[in-house]
Amino acid sequence: MKFIKENGLGFLVCLIIAVPCWLLGQKFTIIGGPVFAIIAGMIITLFLKDKSKLQKGITFTSKKILQYAVILLGFGMNLSVVLETGAQSLPIICATITTSLVIAFVLHKVLHIPGKISTLVGVGSSICGGSAIAATAPVIDADDEEVAQAISVIFFFNVLAALIFPTLGGILGFATTSGEAFGIFAGTAVNDTSSVTAAASTWDAMYHLGSQTLDKAVTVKLTRTLAIIPITLVLAFVQTKKAKNEGKSISLKKIFPFFILYFVLACVITTVALHFGVPGSVFTPIKTLSKFFIVLAMSAIGLNTNIVKLVKSGGKPIVMGFCCWLGIAGVSLLLQYMLGIW
């Protein structure tokens, strides 16, 4: 009862924002519900004079609900299928992730971009956009404004990729009788699932391939998503070591991303259940709930974000996002060419 009293009102406000944003995201998939939710939250918070009664509920939603979303994401992962069909794209995935993280680190040093923003943009660009940012933020103790800024940067280049890449694929001469080459490109070079789906579906529609490209792109994308696990674990150890070097007392247990272990458990449960004949449709409502939880959390993050400050400080992270985006696309194309896929 105390929990509801402290968090209920703030959670309810986030929910009221999230529902229409979720519906808008279903209508305009190229943008997606999370982006609508962040923007709506940032606008609405300008008109809220006193958020003291809402703050605990908003904070709960932006932190805990975000972690629950990542856990539920695991129920969309059939590890046997991912490992079997994603193996071909594994070298490309590893190379693109490494490229993005190296670029983010270099620009962090050269342009003096804050470390947490750099980490979120690098991880979000290289792995799976909003989901990767959601998993990483609690580990590095990023605040809501940093999360909002990273999501905004990732979203901008997601939309560009979804609009540009199908045309670019045609210019570059990707095979139009099969969806394999463009599917791998979309799955490795576009970071958010909604934009991967948009780009791959466009290619299927352009060349009448049914769902060949979409199936390949989504499988590659799911394989990339698994990189959340090692990345968050490494970051937890880095945070602990950094604190120790600075003379601070910090427990690895305190910052260890236990929700990632639940994510792995969800993946294993799904894989075992499907192996023993449980229909995939059983997990569809859980996957949908995961996506809605991300929208819900983003509405809270928007409410905690100063849009004026975000715009003023957004230049350098956008440069970083652009460089990561170009680097990932370039390495994906290069390796596909070297491996004879394209």
Task: Give the C-alpha separation, 168 to 185, whole Å.
Answer: 11
* Residue where the block lists tokens 């004026």: 308
Structural domain includes residue 157 = yes
Collect all residues with Cβ–Cβ distance below 8 Å to 165 and sequence separation of at least 6: 185, 186, 189, 190, 199, 329
Structural domain includes residue 297 = no
CB 72 within 8 A of CB 293: yes
Length in residues, the chain: 342
- Mean pLDDT, residues 112-117 taken together: 92
Task: Give the C-alpha separation, 321 to 128, whole Å.
Answer: 14
- pLDDT score of 222 more than 80: no
Task: Give the C-alpha separation, 342 to 334, whole Å.
Answer: 9
Using a pLDDT cut of 70, give the percent of the chain over it: 95
Read off the pLDDT band of 201 (50, 70, 90): confident
- Mean pLDDT, residues 207-235 taken together: 85
| The model's pTM | 0.77
Structural domain includes residue 296 = no
Structural domain includes residue 8 = no
Task: Give the C-alpha separation, 72 to 220, whole Å.
Answer: 19
Report pLDDT digits (tens) over 33-56: 887 898 899 899 988 878 888 889
Q: Mapping DSSP to helix (H, G, I), strand (E, B) and coil, where does residue 33 land?
A: helix
Q: Give, in order, the Cα–Cα distances in Å from 156 to each of 149, 212, 225.
A: 11, 27, 20
Burial class (CB in 10 A: 0-12, 13-18, 19+), 259: buried
Q: What is the DSSP code string of 95-109?
A: HHHHHHHHHHHHHHH
Closest by CA position to 195, among listed 165, 231, 168, 238 = 165
What does pLDDT average to over the chain? 86
Q: Mapping DSSP to helix (H, G, I), strand (E, B) and coil, where does residue 190 land?
A: coil
Q: Give, in order, the Cα–Cα distances in Å from 182 to each of 43, 296, 309, 314, 326.
A: 38, 32, 39, 32, 17
Highest mean pLDDT among 60-64, 211-215, 218-222, 307-311: 60-64
- Mean pLDDT, residues 165-170 taken together: 90
Structural domain includes residue 120 = yes
Structural domain includes residue 106 = yes
Report pLDDT digits (tens) over 118-128: 999 999 998 87
Structural domain includes residue 149 = yes
Structural domain includes residue 279 = yes
What is the separation of C-alpha 301 from the centre of its chain, rounded to a whole number of angstroms? 15
* pLDDT score recorded for residue 85: 64
CB 162 within 8 A of CB 30: yes
- Mean pLDDT, residues 24-41 taken together: 84
End-to-end, the C-alpha distance of the chain in Å comes to: 59
- Mean pLDDT, residues 150-176 taken together: 86
* pLDDT score recorded for residue 149: 87
What residue numbers bound the domain in which 133 lies?
A: 80-289+305-338
Q: What's the domain count of the chain? A: 1
Using a pLDDT cut of 90, give the percent of the chain over it: 30
Structure tokens, 262: 């639940």
* pLDDT score recorded for residue 287: 84
Report pLDDT digits (tens) over 241-299: 877 777 766 666 666 678 878 888 998 999 999 989 999 889 989 988 988 998 898 89
